[in-house]
Amino acid sequence: MRRCIGCYESKPQSELMRLTYNGSAFIADTDGRNDGRGIYLCRNAECIEKSFKRKAWNRICRSGVNREEIMRVIEGALNEN
Ligand SMILES: [Zn+2]
């Protein structure tokens, strides 16, 4: 079980999209094999929005985040799974 950074609910990994943060950028981890810190998010707009409201991304990337850039990564994760 993995925890969504939007709603904080724990769900099976298969229900979540997985991203990783490699120290400088967020990456859509479509095959679940990227190294780096795993970030899990439900596949719905509500949790994506919550993740921004809760500043979840800023906690992972302390130097600051670009919402548009993250949205591109999220869309990539959604499209490829
Ligand atoms: Zn969620």
Which pLDDT belongs to residue 81? 53
How many angstroms separate the alpha carbon of residue 78 from the centre of ligand 1? Answer: 14
Long-range contacts of 12-16 (CB under 8 A, 24+ apart): 13/40, 15/42, 15/43, 16/40, 16/41, 16/42, 16/43
How many angstroms separate the alpha carbon of residue 31 from the centre of ligand 1? Answer: 20
How many angstroms separate the alpha carbon of residue 15 from the centre of ligand 1? Answer: 10
Nearest to 20 by CA among 28, 12, 31: 28
How many angstroms separate the alpha carbon of residue 64 from the centre of ligand 1? Answer: 22
How many angstroms separate the alpha carbon of residue 6 from the centre of ligand 1? Answer: 5
Q: What burial class does residue 44 get, using C-beta atoms within 10 Å of its C-beta: 0-12 exposed, 13-18 middle, 19+ buried?
A: middle
Q: How far is CA 53 from the centre of its chain?
A: 14
Instruction: Give the domain CATH number at 59.
Output: 3.30.1230.10
Whole-number percent of the chain with pLDDT over 70: 99
User: What is the number of domains present in the chain?
Assistant: 1
Residue bearing the bigger pLDDT, 37 or 28: 28
With a threshold of 0.85, does the pTM exceed it?
Answer: yes
Domain that holds residue 67: 2-80
